[in-house]
């Protein structure tokens, strides 16, 4: 009964979503206030129906209802409760349902937070979000129904991929999907603006917070994914340029560009058409990335079950959403008015440069990801594009971004000169030079030295930006503090986020100096790596809830003092005949000591064990930097202008301006 209820709720949500598309859009077109007023209620109704549906699937998982095919394939009685719940979105069907649920949350959020939006714009945005949601709910119902029953129901499920039984990964998809799906809101705003034929400063001001919010989630999602592959896959690597990773990086890059170009729309009413295109492009990349991976076209180690038939439906959906919005763009964008002019050396100019560079990196990653399948389609021969290509092509584009990040936030609008800005940055320049000197002496390789220098430059200049704005040391501390409180939160947020980039870059520079060693040693032997003595003191077998583990004890000493004892293990899962390695990591925030146990050879006291030992300096900084970036974004979201000022100004504008063309 329960799964049927879930399916019914899903069908109901789909129906409501269709109504949510048609009624408000028609209402906005005919200026029918009653139809437009239906939008928020429908959006919230759709969310409620989907929440019930999702709740039913979780209930089926928790109660071990193996008559549901999805639960039978992905769950098992012995699985811990937490992973029964998180396992709901660890497979294709459940993740599509989660995707739709998050989209519904976005629609309801626009309904709830967007009370100050003009009625027609709000109706259109909610309508477009409803249309996208209806498409995915149909996809869920027709080709990937999570509530399908099987008969006879098995006594126990087939478990789930043990690699996925991990807290990091359990919460990774919801965060990542919120990032992907969050870009649906700027997308809906862009499409609504195209329908209305008008983009102005207030539009930019509304789009920005949604973009920033989605960007924060996507940043955290990518960082969490990278951290997961670092500590679960046990290769000591953090980024593999795998198609699945690239699928999340591409919208992140274009979303970062969008976040910056929307500032220009807001402040200077220019770059409008470009911003609209970026908003459409970012969501299109989010959609196509995730779903191309599902269809099996992209070759990945993280592959979901591939089904070309499912792919055809997805492609139709993508054609409708992306093709439809780009057709609208081709038709309506030419009538949008272009804005004011600016000199190349100005804040606008800097933000354009930021967009050019970010979009170039985005294009490079896109090319590298799509090249193998396209080559194989056109010429029948495939080439694998890997790390060497991506490193060689993205790093030269990233370096100017890092260099400019320090200067750009301090350059005035419209027309500026660089010299006064550089004069403000004398302290940051000196710090960067000191960092250069230290890294020249301490690091090996041109790139790590350059990265470390730029990282310090970014952090120092971001701090200088705030210090200059609050006239630190030039007035009394209390005066500076008052200025700090009066400073727009978005400026502080930007400085924090930029500093976060610096922290991440510093982490990358540190990781380039990582050392590792693969050894095969008997119990009692000591290895030396990076100034530490690693001794294998024992190996034992331990039973777990649904696996048995081979656990090693490695004592790590530095100059004779015990630093830590780590217990890397290797788990053999009973149900799926699969093994996973559990990496052991000891961190002091400056460096990670990282140990992995591999195979064993021989029996008894003569047995030897393959161990992989890593010393990863500054590794945690890579992810901490991403967290700092997201905190900067959240800080910027708390800006008073976003919450209060925007709607008031729009109402004032609106009184004097014609609503549509």
Partner 1 sequence: MSEISPSRRRFLMAIPLAGAGIAGVAFWKMLSGMSAGSFDPHDIHAPAAGRVIPDFDLPAQAPGEGFSSTDLRQQTKPVLINFFASWCIPCIAEMDALLSLKKEVEIWGIAYKDKPENAEGFITRAGNPYTRIASDREGRVAIDWGVSGVPESFLIAPGGHIIWHGAGGFDNGNTLNALKAVLAKVPA
Contact residues toward partner 1 (CB under 8 A) are 273, 277, 280-281, 284, 292, 295-299, 306, 308-309, 311-312, 315, 318-319, 322-323, 326-327, 329-330, 333-334, 338, 341, 370, 372-374, 376-377, 380-382, 384, 386, 518, 520, 598-599, 601, 608, 610, 612
The CB-of-280 to partner 1 minimum distance in angstroms stands at 8
CA distance 627 to 491: 18
180: Cα within 13 Å, side-chain hemisphere: 28
Q: What are phi and psi of 252, to 5 degrees?
A: -65, -45
CA distance 355 to 652: 31
Q: What are phi and psi of 615, to 5 degrees?
A: -120, 110
Select 327 or 444, whichever has its Cβ closest to partner 1.
Answer: 327
Select 54 or 615, whichever has its Cβ closest to partner 1.
Answer: 615
Select 442 or 602, whichever has its Cβ closest to partner 1.
Answer: 602
The CB-of-283 to partner 1 minimum distance in angstroms stands at 12
Secondary structure of residue 575 in the 3-state scheme: coil
The CB-of-29 to partner 1 minimum distance in angstroms stands at 22
The CB-of-53 to partner 1 minimum distance in angstroms stands at 28
Secondary structure of residue 10 in the 3-state scheme: helix
Query: Does residue 168 contact residue 108 with C-beta atoms inside 8 Å?
Result: no
The CB-of-573 to partner 1 minimum distance in angstroms stands at 17
The CB-of-161 to partner 1 minimum distance in angstroms stands at 16
How crowded is residue 52: how many other Cβ atoms within 10 Å of its Cβ?
Answer: 16
- Spell out the residues 6+ positions from residue 221 whose beta carbon is closer than 8 angstroms to its own: 172, 175, 176, 177, 178, 179, 248
CA distance 294 to 310: 9
Select 261 or 636, whichever has its Cβ closest to partner 1.
Answer: 261
Provide the total of helices (H) and of strands (E) in the chain, helices listed first: 24, 10
Directed axis angle between helix 446-469 and helix 489-511, to 10°?
160
User: What tokens appear for 467 in the block?
Assistant: 């210090």
The CB-of-393 to partner 1 minimum distance in angstroms stands at 18
Select 115 or 387, whichever has its Cβ closest to partner 1.
Answer: 387
User: What tokens appear for 434 in the block?
Assistant: 């000191």
CA distance 561 to 51: 54
Select 384 or 478, whichever has its Cβ closest to partner 1.
Answer: 384
The CB-of-463 to partner 1 minimum distance in angstroms stands at 37
Q: Quote the Cα angle for 463-469-473, to 5°.
A: 80
The CB-of-383 to partner 1 minimum distance in angstroms stands at 8
What is the secondary structure of 263-313 as a DSSP string?
HHHHHHS-SHHHHHHHHHHHHHHHHHHHHHHHHT-S--TTPPPP-HHHHHH
504: Cα within 13 Å, side-chain hemisphere: 23
Secondary structure of residue 271 in the 3-state scheme: coil
Select 181 or 298, whichever has its Cβ closest to partner 1.
Answer: 298
Secondary structure of residue 502 in the 3-state scheme: helix
The CB-of-616 to partner 1 minimum distance in angstroms stands at 17
Select 40 or 372, whichever has its Cβ closest to partner 1.
Answer: 372
Query: Does residue 183 contact residue 290 with C-beta atoms inside 8 Å?
Result: no
Select 277 or 467, whichever has its Cβ closest to partner 1.
Answer: 277
Select 78 or 363, whichever has its Cβ closest to partner 1.
Answer: 363
Helix (H) or strand (E) holding 580: strand 578-582
The CB-of-428 to partner 1 minimum distance in angstroms stands at 35
The CB-of-443 to partner 1 minimum distance in angstroms stands at 22
The CB-of-587 to partner 1 minimum distance in angstroms stands at 23
What's the chain's Rg over C-alpha atoms? 27
User: What tokens appear for 609 in the block?
Assistant: 């064990």
Query: Does residue 633 contact residue 208 with C-beta atoms inside 8 Å?
Result: no
Select 167 or 197, whichever has its Cβ closest to partner 1.
Answer: 197
Farthest-apart Cα atoms in the chain, separation: 88
The CB-of-98 to partner 1 minimum distance in angstroms stands at 24
CA distance 597 to 518: 10
CA distance 184 to 127: 12
Select 126 or 249, whichever has its Cβ closest to partner 1.
Answer: 249
Select 52 or 375, whichever has its Cβ closest to partner 1.
Answer: 375
User: What tokens appear for 525 in the block?
Assistant: 């032997």
Select 172 or 612, whichever has its Cβ closest to partner 1.
Answer: 612
Peptide bond into 152 cis (omega under 30): yes
The CB-of-250 to partner 1 minimum distance in angstroms stands at 13
Select 148 or 307, whichever has its Cβ closest to partner 1.
Answer: 307
Select 112 or 323, whichever has its Cβ closest to partner 1.
Answer: 323
Select 156 or 391, whichever has its Cβ closest to partner 1.
Answer: 391
Q: Is the dihedral of CA 399, 403, 408, 411 positive or negative?
A: negative
The CB-of-385 to partner 1 minimum distance in angstroms stands at 10
CA distance 410 to 14: 48
User: What tokens appear for 431 in the block?
Assistant: 């710090």
| 414, β-bridge pairs | none
Query: Does residue 192 contact residue 131 with C-beta atoms inside 8 Å?
Result: no
- Is residue 630 exposed (0-12), middle (13-18) or buried (19+ Cβ within 10 Å)? buried
User: What tokens appear for 244 in the block?
Assistant: 């699945």
In b/e form, how buried is each residue of 401-438, taking b as 16+ CB within 10 angstroms? bbbbbbbbbbbeeeebeeeebeeebeebbebbeebbee
The CB-of-552 to partner 1 minimum distance in angstroms stands at 15
């Amino acid at each position: 009964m329960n799964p049927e209820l879930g399916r019914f709720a899903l069908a109901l949500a789909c129906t409501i979503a269709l109504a949510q598309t048609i009624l408000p859009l028609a209402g906005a077109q005919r200026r029918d206030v009653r139809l437009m007023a239906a939008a928020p209620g429908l959006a919230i109704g759709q969310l409620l129906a989907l929440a019930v549906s999702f709740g039913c699937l979780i209930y089926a998982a928790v109660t071990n209802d193996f008559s549901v095919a999805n639960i039978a394939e992905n769950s098992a009685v012995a699985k811990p409760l937490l992973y029964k719940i998180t396992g709901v979105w660890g497979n294709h069907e459940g993740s599509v349902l989660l995707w739709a649920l998050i989209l519904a949350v976005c629609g309801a959020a626009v309904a709830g937070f967007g009370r100050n939006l003009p009625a027609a714009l709000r109706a259109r945005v909610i309508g477009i979000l409803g249309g996208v949601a209806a498409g995915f709910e149909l996809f869920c119902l027709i080709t990937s129904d999570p509530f399908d029953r099987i008969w006879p129901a098995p006594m126990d499920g087939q478990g789930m991929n043990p690699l996925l039984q991990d807290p990091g990964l359990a919460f990774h998809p919801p965060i990542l999907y919120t990032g992907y799906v969050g870009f649906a809101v700027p997308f809906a705003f862009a499409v609504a603006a195209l329908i209305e034929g008008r983009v102005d400063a207030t539009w930019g001001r509304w789009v920005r917070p949604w973009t920033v919010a989605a960007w924060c989630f996507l940043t955290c999602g990518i960082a969490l994914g990278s951290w997961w592959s670092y500590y679960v896959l046990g290769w000591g690597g953090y980024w593999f340029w795998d198609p699945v990773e690239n699928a999340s990086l591409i919208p992140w890059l274009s979303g970062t560009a969008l976040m910056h170009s929307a500032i220009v729309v807001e402040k200077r009413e220019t770059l409008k058409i470009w911003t609209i295109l970026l908003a459409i492009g970012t969501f299109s990349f989010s959609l196509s990335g995730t779903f191309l991976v599902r269809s099996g076209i992209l070759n990945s180690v993280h592959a979901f079950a591939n089904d070309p038939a499912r792919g055809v439906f997805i492609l139709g959906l993508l054609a409708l959403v992306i093709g439809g919005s780009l057709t609208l763009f081709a038709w309506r964008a030419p009538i949008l008015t272009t804005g004011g002019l600016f000199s190349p050396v100005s804040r606008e100019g800097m933000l354009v440069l930021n967009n050019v560079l970010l979009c170039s990196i985005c294009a490079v990653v896109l090319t590298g990801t799509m090249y193998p399948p396209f080559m194989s389609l056109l010429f029948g021969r495939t080439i694998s594009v890997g790390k060497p290509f991506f490193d060689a092509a993205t790093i030269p584009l990233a370096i100017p971004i890092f260099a400019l990040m320090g200067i750009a936030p301090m350059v005035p609008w419209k027309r500026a000169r660089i010299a006064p800005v550089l004069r403000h940055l004398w302290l940051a320049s000196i710090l960067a030079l000191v960092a250069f000197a230290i890294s020249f002496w301490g690091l090996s390789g041109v790139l790590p030295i350059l990265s470390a220098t730029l990282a310090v430059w970014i952090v120092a200049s971001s701090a200088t930006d705030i210090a200059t704005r609050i006239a630190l040391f030039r007035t009394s501390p209390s005066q500076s503090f008052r200025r700090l409180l009066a400073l727009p939160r978005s400026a502080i947020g930007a400085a924090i986020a930029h500093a976060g980039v610096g922290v991440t870059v510093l982490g990358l520079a540190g990781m380039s100096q990582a050392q590792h060693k693969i050894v095969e040693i008997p119990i009692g032997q000591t290895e030396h790596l990076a100034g530490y003595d690693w001794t294998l003191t024992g190996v034992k077998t331990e039973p777990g809830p649904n696996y048995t583990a081979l656990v090693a004890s490695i004592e790590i000493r530095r100059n004779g003092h015990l630093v830590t004892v780590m217990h890397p293990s290797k788990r053999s899962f009973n149900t799926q005949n699969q093994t996973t390695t559990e990496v052991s990591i000891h961190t002091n925030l400056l460096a990670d000591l990282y140990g992995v146990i591999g195979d064993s050879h021989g029996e008894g006291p003569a047995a030897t064990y393959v161990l992989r030992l890593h010393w990863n300096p500054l590794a945690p900084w890579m992810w901490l930097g991403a967290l700092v970036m997201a905190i900067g974004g959240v800080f910027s979201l708390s800006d008073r202008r976003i919450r209060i000022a925007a709607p008031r100004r729009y109402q004032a504008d609106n009184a004097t301006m014609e609503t549509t063309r």
